Each structure stands twice: as structure tokens, then as C-alpha cells.
Structure 1
Amino acid sequence: MNANIDIDFNNLKTTGIKVNYLYVCERKLWLFDRGIQMESRSDKVLMGKLLGDNSYLREDKKEILIDNLINIDIVGDDEIREVKYSNRLAHADRIQILYYLYYLKQLGIEKRGVINYPKMRKREEIALTSEAEREVEIALMRVKEILMLNKPPQLQRKPYCTKCAYYEFCWG
């Protein structure tokens, strides 16, 4: 994938959670965008929120909202960090923090990224390489395509569907 992509970033800006959901489930992304938000009923989401709230209490800059779009868990001098409950959806966590790094770079801010999995006592360092930038740009274009659909993408059974907040909505 060596081709340069010309994108209009301002036209493709979105929330970090939508970029994450692209990698989790395109249907979930579409439903979430339409205001069908099931997370408030999810024990897993609540447990993740509690873990994030109660981890890294000594950090000064927690929950930084930028442009009402991206909400970074922890911002340090040279890094940003996301706190995640588990690495079960590590590919989605990775694209989300890559998007944050890309977004910040568009603002003239360069940092490195870290995903913390405190329950597992793991951390993963993420760098915004030129290949990663292209991956983010492709993801942003795909998010826009999905959100422009008139109806949700087809159901696709995934290994984690039964643990999803949307499970009853999709499969019930």
C-alpha cells in the first residue's frame, strides 16, 4: 500500500469511538451514529469506565476532549494513553489511538501513543508511521461510507457478538 491518498481531513473528522467501532463491527458503527446507543445498559462498558476512572489516579491530565470529537484518556508531555479493559479487541484499540495521534498531528502536535491494559498489567506502545497514517486515512473514508448508507450493514456473526451491548438488538 504505497499509494498516497489525498484526503480532506476536515470533511472526514469523526469521534474516536466511531473509528474504534469500524474495526469492531460496521453495523454497530452505523447504529451508534444513528443514536441507537446500547452501551449504557452494558456491564462490560460500566466495568471499563470504572477501571479507567480508578486507574492512574496520579496522572494530571485525564480525559482530555479535543474539538468535541476525540476524548483522550491521559495526555502526558510526550505521549497520549488510552486505558482499555482488555486486549480482546486490540486491533480496534490500536486504530483508535492511531487516529488520535493522526488527529493531533493535523493540529501540529506529535506524540507517541500507549494503550494500557491495567487489569492485565500490559501496555502497548503505538507509533504513527507513514503506513499507519494511510491506515487511518482509509479507516476515515470507510467510516464516512458506512455512515452514508441508508440502512445498516448486514449482520455478521463475530466471536464477540454475545458480549456486545448490541447483541439483543441485532440477534434477539
Structure 2
Amino acid sequence: MLINATHINLLHVCHRELWLHYHGVRMEHTSQTVAEGKLIGETSYPERAKKYTELAMDGIKIDFYDPKENVVHEVKKSNKVEEAHIAQVKYYLYILRKNGIEDPSAIIEYPKLRQRQVVEWEDGDTKKIEAWKQMVEDIVTREECPPLLHARICRSCSYFDFCYSDQPDTPSNS
């Protein structure tokens, strides 16, 4: 089973979205939030494409990798799900390390917030990521889709209409 960085990210956001995404139910094309995020990623650092490399290997695709400094640059719209963003770039670092790249690090950039989060490899990350991979596999191999999350983040999710179309209750403010 090929697990990718999106799966690791979604593991930390919503198990239902992870399951749906893995099984080919994709709603991102209907989301204004996703479109805005892509636009931010494409326009925030216009010179970056000349300076850095796009890198794809083992189920990951890094848009901006600085091979001289060994740094992954990940651009995100907001830090609402920062834990998921950190998990995603940790997975990038895991794959880079598995492929012989020594001591990679990452920077998550939030241009709208004018913030950056440096992400370094830490002792125990390999075990943690291998546990995440197992959790992803456990979730996506279930026969049934996981239950609704009923969280505030659901309101801005590209799957909102899909998940709540026949639900009398809506996500809580928690």
C-alpha cells in the first residue's frame, strides 16, 4: 500500500476525509478554500520556482526543495491545522532520509500570516511516522467510512456538503 504525505496530513485532520480521499472520493475541485490555498502557494513566492527544485519520490511531491541547504519549503494558507502540516513535512523528511538525504529540515510558511514554522527531525520521529503509516492503513482498509467529525473545521472543509447533506445536525463550535 502506497501511503503519501496527503494521507499523513489527513490522518491528523479527519479520518473520514482520509478514508474518502483514499477511496477516490475527491471534493477539492469544488472548494473555494482549496482554490485560495493553491493560489497562495503559486503566487506568494514567484521567484522560488527558479531557485528551488520540485522533487517527487516514494509517494511524495515536494513543490520547493532547496538541495543546497537540504530544506523543504511548504506553503500553507493558514495555521489552523498546524499539527497536520508538521506531520506532512515530517513525512517528507522521513522519505528523504530513507532515500539517503542526510539531515533534511523543513520550513512551513504561512504568507498570509507572515509566519514561518521550522521543522527539524527529532529522535523518535521514525517510530512516530511508522505508527502513523499503520494508522492510515488501518483506517483506509476499513469497509465502512469513519463517522462524521462534527467539528468547527468541518465548516470550511471541501467535503462539508458531501458529509452533511442528509444530517440534521451541523458541526459544533468546538
Q: Which residue of 1 aligns with 2:168?
A: none
Amino acid at match of 1:169: F
Q: Which residue of 2 aligns with 1:170?
A: 163
Of the candidates 122, 129, 136, which is equivalent to residue 115 of structure 2? 122
Q: Which residue of 2 aligns with 1:83?
A: 75
Which sections of structure 1, spanning at least 5 residues, go unmatched? 1-10
CA RMSD in angstroms comes to 1.3
Per-residue deviation, residues 68-107 of structure 1 (Å, max 9, x unmatched)? x211121012211110000000000000000000011000
Q: Which residue of 2 aligns with 1:16?
A: 5
Of the candidates 25, 28, 42, which is equivalent to residue 39 of structure 1? 28
Q: Which residue of 2 aligns with 1:142?
A: 135
How far the C-alpha of 1:128 sits from its partner, in A, is: 1.2
Scaled by the length of structure 2, the TM-score of the pair is 0.87
Of the candidates 17, 22, 35, which is equivalent to residue 28 of structure 1? 17
Q: Distance in 2 between matches of 1:159 and 1:129?
A: 31
Q: Distance in 2 between matches of 1:171 and 1:98?
A: 32
How far the C-alpha of 1:44 sits from its partner, in A, is: 0.5
How far the C-alpha of 1:64 sits from its partner, in A, is: 2.6
Amino acid at match of 1:134: K
How far the C-alpha of 1:134 sits from its partner, in A, is: 2.1
- Percent identity over the alignment is 34
Scaled by the length of structure 1, the TM-score of the pair is 0.88
How far the C-alpha of 1:31 sits from its partner, in A, is: 0.3
How many residues are aligned here?
160
